[in-house]
Amino acid sequence: MNKSNKGIYYLLVLTILGGLLFLDQSLKIWVLNHMYLGQTKTMAGNWFYLHFTENNGMAFGVEFGGIAGKLVLTGFRILAVFGIIWYLFKQINSGAHKGLVICITLILAGALGNIIDSLFYGVWFEDLVTYDDKGRYFLGRVVDMLYFPVIETHYPGWFPFWGGQDFTFFRPIFNIADASISSGVIAIILFQKKFFGKKLDEPVLEFPESDNDESFEQKNEEIV
C-alpha cells in the first residue's frame, strides 16, 4: 500500500478511535456524576433505559472472580490491546480491506474504553464510586448503563426448566465500549469472505498468449 493510502487509513483509524473513546468516556463520566448506583432513567418508552451498574469482569457484566481474577483480567486486556494494535498495523500495511480495518478499530476502541475504567476510575473518581477497592489503580470497575429490555414476557408453563419464569430480551446491561467490541466481532464473522479475500494491492496475474499455441494453429492450417 502506498503512503497516501496508508495516511488515509491511519486518519480513519484515529477518527473512529477518538470518536468512540470520547462518546464512551463522556457517557460513563456523566452517569457517575448524575446517577447513583442502581438508579434507572427511562429514555424511550419501555424498551430503552439508562441503568447505572458496575462490574468487575468482562463485557455485559460477566464476572471474573476476586482481586486476583481482576488483576489477571486487566493484565490480559492490556496485552490484548497491544496485540490488536500490532494486528491493525499489519493489516493496514498489507493492504487489507477497509471494512476489516474499521472492525479491528472498533474492537480496539472498545477494549481501550473498558481498560480506562479498570485502570483509573478507582482513583480518578474515588469520591463517586462505591466499591471497596477504590483509591487503587488496576482495580476499578467498568461502568455500564445501556439497558434494552425490548421484550419482557414469561416462559410458558410447559417450557423445560424455566416454565413460568420471567423472560427479558435483551437482559444484559452494557456500555458503548461493549457495543463497539461486539459490533466489530460480529461484522468480521458476517463478512469474513469479503474481508479476507484478495488484498487491495495484490496483483492480478495475467498469462500472455503462448507463441507455441499460435504456431501450432498455423501448422494445422498449413496441413489442411
Is residue 209 in a domain? no
pTM of the model: 0.80
166 is catalytic: no
144 is catalytic: yes
Whether the per-residue pLDDT at 20 is higher than 50: the answer is yes
Is residue 48 in a domain? yes
Residue 56's alpha-carbon distances to 37, 118, 207, in angstroms, are 14, 8, 59
Beta-bridge partners for 167: 153
CA distance 224 to 221: 5
Q: pLDDT band at 204, cuts 50/70/90?
A: very low
Is residue 141 in a domain? yes
pLDDT at 207: 46
Is residue 191 in a domain? yes
Indicate the average pLDDT of the chain: 84
Cis peptide bond upstream of 170, omega within 30: yes
Is residue 96 in a domain? yes
Catalytic residue selected from 127, 132, 133, 178? 178
- Residue with the bigger pLDDT between 3 and 99: it is 99
CA distance 161 to 141: 33
Q: ∠152-157-158 over CA atoms, to 5°?
A: 120
The residues, any chain, with a CB within 8 Å of residue 115's CB and separated by 6 or more, are: 74, 77, 78, 81
pLDDT tens digit sequence for 70-93: 778 788 889 999 999 999 999 999
SS (H, E, C) the chain: CCHHHHHHHHHHHHHHHHHHHHHHHHHHHHHHHHCCCCCEEEEECCCEEEEEEEECCCHHHCCCCHHHHHHHHHHHHHHHHHHHHHHHHHHHHCCCCHHHHHHHHHHHHHHHHHHHHHHHHHHHCCCCCCCCCCCCCCCCCEEEEEECCCEEEECCCCCCCCCCCEEEECCCCECHHHHHHHHHHHHHHHCHHHHCCCCCCCCCCCCCCCHHHHHHHHHHHHHC
129 CB neighbour count, 10 Å cutoff: 21
159 CB neighbour count, 10 Å cutoff: 12
Query: Which domain, by its residues, includes 89?
Result: 3-200
Is residue 205 in a domain? no
Is residue 212 in a domain? no
Name the domain count of the chain: 1
pLDDT at 184: 97
Instruction: Tell me what percent of the residues of the chain surpass a pLDDT of 90.
Output: 51
Catalytic residue selected from 132, 144, 166, 213? 144
Is residue 216 in a domain? no
pLDDT tens digit sequence for 124-181: 999 888 877 788 888 888 999 999 988 878 778 787 877 778 877 778 899 999 999 9
